Amino acid sequence: MNRDRTLPRARALAAAADACQGPRDHLALIRTRLTQLTALEPLSVLEEQALALVIDRYVPAWHSLEETLIDGMAATRNTTPILSPSDFGFHNTLAHQGRLAFVDFEYAGWDDPAKLICDFICQPELPITPAQGMQFIEHLSGAFPDAGELRRRVEWLLPAHRLKWSCILLNEFRPEYHRRRVHAGIAAEGLLTTQLAKAERYFEEHMSACMSRAISGNREQIHPHNPNGET
């Protein structure tokens, strides 16, 4: 995708969905996600449980994490933007004749490579292995002259994007997603139960470790452990 990123046609492409131009943009993404979820008006026990998860676990985690991230913001620099598929991972691939074809580029555009790496590592649908995480960051960062800075940015930002993905797993509880389900004729109860369980499990598996390491200054390794049970 980035072989010809200097061409005028490439430069004319729009920014990716939720694109980040600097450190503050990454933090703003998490604040926005949390604001959307804390604004929920629960109409069922499941929705009350989802709201309680956000208020009792997500928000305190963010308050602790945000201070650490802001303190470290001055030590990070912007890296060269890239053309990013945005929603990138093995969940968006098709296997054909021994090769993988990547699909679903509706969110693609210019973005921070650190965000692409964090999202690839964090996405929960088909979790990657530690070896895959290391292979990806080494291969991608090797294409940039500021590879060391990119690695540091990923280590610094990864806990924040873990929390972002904890929020994304609760998207089904937001009113606009509810309207889509009704329009599509999808039964809500089972879906919401599944998503709430996924969100709770994801937060426990990743954010506890992220928080302790971030606060102590020993931030999460670039390659996460492979969570069990995610499908």
pLDDT band at 175 (very low <50, low <70, confident <90, very high): confident
Global pTM reads: 0.84
Length of the chain: 231
The one-letter amino acid code at 55 reads I
Percentages of the chain per state (helix, strand, coil), in multiples of 5:
60, 5, 35
User: Among the ranges 99-113, 147-161, 211-225, which has the highest mean pLDDT value?
Assistant: 99-113
* pLDDT tens-digit readout, 103-125: 999 999 999 999 999 999 999 98
Asked if the model's pLDDT at residue 215 lies above 60, the reply is no
Distances (CA, A) of 80 to 77, 107, 114, 221, 225: 10, 19, 10, 22, 28
pLDDT band at 1 (very low <50, low <70, confident <90, very high): confident
Q: What is the pLDDT of residue 35?
A: 95
Name the phi and psi angles at 148, rounded to 5: -65, -40
Q: What are the boundaries of each domain within the chain?
A: 23-80+112-216
Cβ contact 119:91 at 8 Å = no
